């Protein structure tokens, strides 16, 4: 094993001051995305009772290079010592903290159609620090229905529902035409972290964090890469 070791808390790099310095750093988006992969792998290792892991093992489990692992983890602090591997529990805590996952995230979903319902029923969010606290819709036939353990609220009451449930993230699972108005209302109600599935560009002020999920674009990227691969069984000329 050649991985660097995370120091025990209280040593120079693990001291509260050092952690604050580290947290002030901006982590590049691609590294943030990989940190979420490491966290998922580390949580599996934790559940299995594994105490240490090398950067090579972590890299293999996440499908990235060990150089990437070491570089990404260096954003959380410089850990220098080689040969012992990372302490799984400590590293998992550090990544969770860097990703803001030690904070309570309470998610309201607007749009209780196919997508909104599937998301509301998905049990995996809670394990990863996201509590789905509300599901809202505009359709009188849908309002009041039970989805999982939630009852669909009337979107006319959006502001009151967000306030009552202390939601601090909103997922928009709405038709494109309704998304901007709803996005504006959500921001006006004080929620500044929004994930949108609507196939439309949304305008938000600078202080708002907006992420857009576009599966069609992902599929197009996949198609581009797939057509560049040789057909199975094809021989190169």
Ligand X SMILES: NC(=O)c1ccc[n+]([C@@H]2O[C@H](COP(=O)([O-])OP(=O)(O)OC[C@H]3O[C@@H](n4cnc5c(N)ncnc54)[C@H](O)[C@@H]3O)[C@@H](O)[C@H]2O)c1
CA distance 209 to 192: 6
Nearer to ligand X, 104 or 214 (CB): 214
> Which DSSP state fits 15?
S
Binding residues for NAD(+): 111-116
Helix or strand run (H / E) with residue 147: strand 146-147
Among residues 20, 114, 235, 236, the one that binds ligand X under rule CB under 6 A: 114
**What's the N-to-C CA distance of the chain in angstroms?**
41
Residues 72-91 that bind ligand X (CB under 6 A): none
Minimal CA–CA distance to 109: which of 171, 185, 157, 195? 171
Helix or strand or coil: residue 106?
A: strand
144 binds ligand X (CB under 6 A): no
188 binds ligand X (CB under 6 A): no
175 binds ligand X (CB under 6 A): yes
Among residues 82, 199, 221, 223, the one that binds ligand X under rule CB under 6 A: 199
Q: How far is CA 177 from the centre of its chain?
A: 26
CA distance 40 to 128: 8
CB 142 within 8 A of CB 173: no
111 binds ligand X (CB under 6 A): yes
Nearer to ligand X, 53 or 191 (CB): 191
152 binds ligand X (CB under 6 A): no
Among residues 139, 164, 211, 222, the one that binds ligand X under rule CB under 6 A: 139
142 binds ligand X (CB under 6 A): yes
**Smallest separation (angstroms) from ligand X to the CB of 10:** 45
113 binds ligand X (CB under 6 A): yes
Phi, psi of 114 (to 5 degrees): -55, -50
Nearer to ligand X, 107 or 115 (CB): 115
Number of residues that bind ligand X (CB under 6 A): 25
CA distance 73 to 14: 13
User: Footprint of ligand X on this chain (CB under 6 A)?
Assistant: 110-116, 136-139, 142, 155, 173-176, 178, 182, 197-199, 213-215
């Amino acid at each position: 094993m050649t991985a660097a070791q995370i120091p025990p808390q209280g040593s120079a790099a693990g001291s509260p001051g050092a952690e604050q310095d580290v947290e002030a750093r901006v982590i590049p988006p691609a590294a943030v995305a990989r940190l979420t992969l490491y966290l998922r792998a580390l949580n599996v290792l934790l559940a299995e009772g594994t105490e240490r892991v090398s950067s090579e093992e972590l890299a293999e489990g996440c499908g990235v290079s060990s150089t990437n692992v070491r570089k990404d983890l260096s954003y959380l602090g410089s850990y220098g010592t080689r040969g012992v591997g990372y302490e799984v529990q400590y590293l998992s805590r550090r990544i969770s903290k860097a990703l803001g996952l030690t904070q309570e995230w309470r998610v309201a979903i607007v749009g209780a159609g196919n997508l909104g319902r599937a998301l509301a029923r998905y049990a995996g969010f809670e394990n990863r620090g996201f509590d789905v606290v509300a599901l809202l819709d505009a359709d009188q036939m849908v309002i009041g229905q039970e989805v999982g353990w939630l009852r669909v609220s009337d979107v006319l009451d959006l502001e009151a529902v967000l306030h009552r449930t202390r939601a601090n993230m909103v997922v928009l699972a709405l038709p494109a035409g309704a998304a901007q108005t709803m996005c504006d209302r959500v921001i006006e109600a004080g929620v500044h972290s929004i994930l949108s599935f609507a196939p439309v560009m949304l305008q938000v002020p600078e202080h708002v964090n907006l992420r857009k999920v576009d599966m069609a674009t992902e599929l197009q990227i996949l198609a581009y890469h797939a057509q560049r691969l040789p057909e199975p069984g094809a021989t190169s000329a």
